[in-house]
Amino acid sequence: MMITERLISDAKFYNKVIAVILAKEDVITDKLKGTPLSRRVVTLLVDPEEHPDYLIRLTRGVLPSVSVITPDMKLLGIIESNEPSYILTSLRDLITQYDDKKLTPVKLPPFIPEPVEPTEASIYEVIGKVLDGAPADFRVVELMSTIVRLEKRFSKAMEKLTPMDEVAKFFLGKGELKGEFAIYEAVKSISGRSSKVLEYVEDGKVYRSSKKENYGLLIDESVVGYALLTEYMRKGDDSLLDIATKIKDFVKSNLEAEKGFLDVVPKDPLTQIPYLEPLANAEAGIFFSALWEATGDEEVKRMALKALGVASTRLSYLGVGARVGHALLRLNHGVLTSEPGNYEDVRVMLNKKTGCKYKQGEKCSERLEDFQSSLGLED
């Protein structure tokens, strides 16, 4: 479910607030029926997995939550509980304070960080955090796999690696991904396994899940776009590059903002509040940098650097740092190849216009190993 103009109109007309229930199940609506409180509240159940765009705007990241907002998108309060009696009591207290003018609703703010120039120092910060035992998502695993292959001095980092979630475990060859989400299918594709990722793409628009309830999230567009590029690299099928390019075009037309890229296509008053989410922009940086390698399109490189500027405002987060590092390896140390193949190296991308078998900068070689002595980073 999403906030609709009809819902807002009704809430205004009947002088109600909107209780957005971010959870898998609704534990309060039935209990509200027939009570005095029902005359002041309209409820809306939102699946946080389907709508992370709601999650970041209405919660502190704690689930389940009930976020109470006014029809003009101002926040009255957040109730972090799954206990019906506690939620109803808290809801009653919020409305009483609001009616008595003892509680002033807060306007939901946009999030537009000032971009920061990306730096390769983020790669060393990632290595340090992994060595310290910080939980690693799949992009951290992917980056570290390349680093330890090329820089033997960091081999202990993989031994210390602790997978953060089921996606990271899957990327390490442990377990399976359950759930019909575009990102899951994309990760399967990136890891070289069969996937149904194309079923989630329609003219550059990527659906969040098989429900096709939500679409146009920057993180989904980017991970799926990148997955198609890895398939293109392995198979050399130009149609995959064409679809990835359409995804880029969709992102440029619908998500590009002055300082970065929006987290989602605006569809309602809530998602019309601009939010430049650093992790999603970091993921976009990977996609655009890989697409730049595949095509040589300088406009795509510009988009990559723009996304990385937003991402670099949150380098303290390991997942963002790994994505920024991955993208910079492609932009600054990328290796182009004219031959399709399964290259387990985040620097490599197929570019059929490459004038030799492997090329890094102006240097050509018949052997990828000639570019595998190091990452080419400064100590």
Q: Mean pLDDT, to the nearest integer, of 240-247?
A: 99
Predicted local distance difference test score (pLDDT) of residue 151 = 85
CA distance 154 to 143: 12
Residues 51 and 354: their CA atoms lie apart, in Å, by 41
Q: Would you say residue 360 has pLDDT above 70?
A: yes
> What's the average model confidence in pLDDT over 260-288?
98
Q: What is the per-residue pLDDT for 159?
A: 84
Poorest-pLDDT segment among 77-81, 89-93, 196-200, 370-374: 370-374
What pLDDT was estimated at residue 374? 61
pLDDT of residue 158: 86
The full DSSP string for 74-118 is EEEEEE----HHHHHHHHHHHHHHHHTT-S--EEPPPB-PPP---
For residue 376, the model assigns a pLDDT of 61
Q: For 214-243, how does the pLDDT look when each residue is reduced to its tens digit (9 = 90+)?
A: 999 999 999 999 999 999 999 999 999 999
What is the per-residue pLDDT across 71-130, written as a single tens digit (0 to 9) for each? 999 999 999 999 999 999 999 999 999 999 999 999 999 999 999 999 999 999 999 999
| DSSP-assigned beta bridge partners for residue 136 | 163
Under CATH, domain 5-107 is a member of which superfamily?
Answer: Glutaredoxin (3.40.30.10)
Can you give the C-alpha Rg of the chain in angstroms? 23
pLDDT at 311 over 60: yes
Chain mean pLDDT for the chain: 96
Angstrom distance (rounded) from CA 71 to CA 271: 14
Of 306, 277, 308, 295, residue with least CA distance to 334:
295
Q: How far apart are CA 64 and CA 30, in angstroms?
A: 17
Burial class of residue 63 in the structure, from the number of CB atoms within 10 Å of its CB (0-12 exposed, 13-18 middle, 19+ buried): middle
- Within 236-277, residue ranges assigned H as helices are 238-254
CA distance 330 to 294: 11
- ∠ Cα 256 257 259 (to 5°): 120
Model confidence at 378, pLDDT cuts 50, 70, 90, reads low
Give the pTM: 0.96
In this predicted model, what pLDDT tens digit does every residue of 205-218 receive, in sequence order? 999 999 999 999 99
